[in-house]
Structure 1
Amino acid sequence: MLRRFRDLAAQAGLPPIRLHDLRHGAATLMLAAGTDVKVVQETLGDTRVSTTLDVYTSVVPALFHASAQAVAELVAGRGDSLPPSPGLES
Structure 2
Amino acid sequence: MEEIAARTSLSERDGVRVCWFGFRPRPRVGAVPTLLVQALEDREQVWTVTAGSPVGAALSDAVSWMLTGRIVPHCPSPAPG
TM range (shorter): 0.3 to 0.5
Would you tell me which structure has more strand in proportion to its own residues? 2
Greater relative CO, 1 or 2 (CA 8 Å, sep 6+): 2
Would you tell me which structure has more helix in proportion to its own residues? 1
Greater radius of gyration (CA): 1
